[in-house]
Chain A
């Protein structure tokens, strides 16, 4: 398999894997983790009321563990999908990377190995902790994740070096991705650009209207929570609830912003590799429509979770599954394309 196809295949697999992980996380971990964090915070306010600093410290150690558990899982999801996006991007510029096919393939493998190990390392951070670590701050899982990140950076610099070589010496370009003007390609390109634009507009609105207000609200909630706990008032529990609501509000708004942009980017990227999807036109169109529909459903229903609760959350998860199914469908098409090339080259004979 050439470097370009390796990156296309690896990239889509990483994105589908990252999204599947995200869906599993959303269904089985996210809400449960939020509930446990709220309960621990309530226990902390009770310890404050009881003037028990030792219990407060114990509770905060538990909250720290819960936040690390959640944070590393979010990061696993994000980094796996983003490594996939970068792999697809690198696939696009491969014709201009002036290296031998062997060296290009080596760089592609280096990048993909880093892209797989980085999220694995991040995922393990919570479970490995500082066990047998030479450092008092960074554990072995962090070292694995950072080393994998460094591998990806080296591969990226290698690709940039190859591009510079191309512009210095202008060697003959190996075959570019076919210039596709098909219906699927055009719909993915324009639909993806509109999704990214909507995500940017929403992000700008969020930063201008909500970000500072939410930061100020959080400080006020904590202040009220502590004052109420000291006064042994029931208002402390109300503050814990208010904090939970604020955390949920922030989480869904940021998730809507990031997911709509990432899906837009994914759609644009997929528009370039449609010639590699070796399926009948009707199926290619089905996967395109499913992907775009899921890309709109997920962020909208993530936002609606605050108003409609778990029903909206469930629909958002279905949106995620739609995108994953469309990606796997396209991946099968790419596998069929690779297979057809192998047959033509006599690779399977």
Chain B
């Protein structure tokens, strides 16, 4: 097994296990409480409005928006880590069919692994500081790396196909 395939398969399995552990922790300790908080804030906004307490109502709406901002990203992190991990393992199985040399294959593999870790990490860091430029930059850099690595992989498969014809 080539080094590139090892990076992809081991990195992918580790990332999938980590993503699932995160999902389990999130489902047991965070999700239900977050959903309660989100639903509670929105209901409170309407109840306050019914009682004509508009400042409190708008504060509750802000709390709802803030909780939902976190919730969307927390769920996205879980699904993206596992999804990207699966893609890495699949690519690991197919990499010997890529029409590139070992060095380029290894560079693509590291690009995929780095991007797959960095992109969801940047997304979850956005929940620590809303609108954090560092977190957004990490997410953009990570997703960019994954897209470039995947585009090069697609070219590699086409080259393999051309070579075999």
Binding site for B on A (CB under 8 A): 44-45, 47-48, 50-53, 55-57, 59-60, 63-64, 67, 78, 82, 85-86, 89, 92-93, 96, 137-138, 142, 145-146, 149-150, 152-153, 156-157, 159-160, 163, 167, 181, 186, 189-190, 193-194, 196-197, 200-201, 203-204, 207, 215, 218-219, 222-223, 226-227, 229-230, 258, 261-262, 265, 268-269, 271-272
Contact = CB atoms under 8 A, between A and B. Distances in A.
Contact of A196 (B1, B6, B150): B150
B50 A190 contact: no
Interface string B1-23: 10000100110011011001101
Nearest to A61: B43
Contacts of B93: 89, 92-93, 272
A156 B43 contact: no
B23 to A, nearest CB: 7
Given A51-B50, A142-B27, A200-B146, A222 B86 contact: no
A190 B157 contact: yes
A258 B153 CA distance: 20
Interface of B: 1, 6, 9-10, 13-14, 16-17, 20-21, 23-24, 27-28, 32-33, 36, 39, 42-43, 45-47, 49-52, 54, 57-58, 61-62, 64-65, 68-69, 72, 79, 82-83, 86-87, 89-91, 93-94, 97, 139, 143-144, 146-147, 150-151, 153-154, 157-158, 161, 164
Contact of A226 (B23, B45, B97, B164): B45
A153 B45 contact: no
Contacts of B143: 200, 203-204, 207
Nearest to B36: A137
Contacts of B42: 60, 222
Given A149-B23, A156-B20, A194-B154, A56 B46 contact: yes
13 contacts: A51-B51, A52-B50, A53-B47, A59-B46, A60-B39, A67-B39, A89-B86, A89-B93, A137-B32, A163-B13, A190-B157, A223-B58, A226-B49
Contacts of B94: 189, 268, 271-272
Given A137-B33, A194-B154, A96 B1 contact: yes
Given A146-B27, A262-B83, A268-B91, 5 more contacts: A92-B93, A149-B27, A152-B20, A153-B17, A265-B87
A169 B10 CA distance: 16
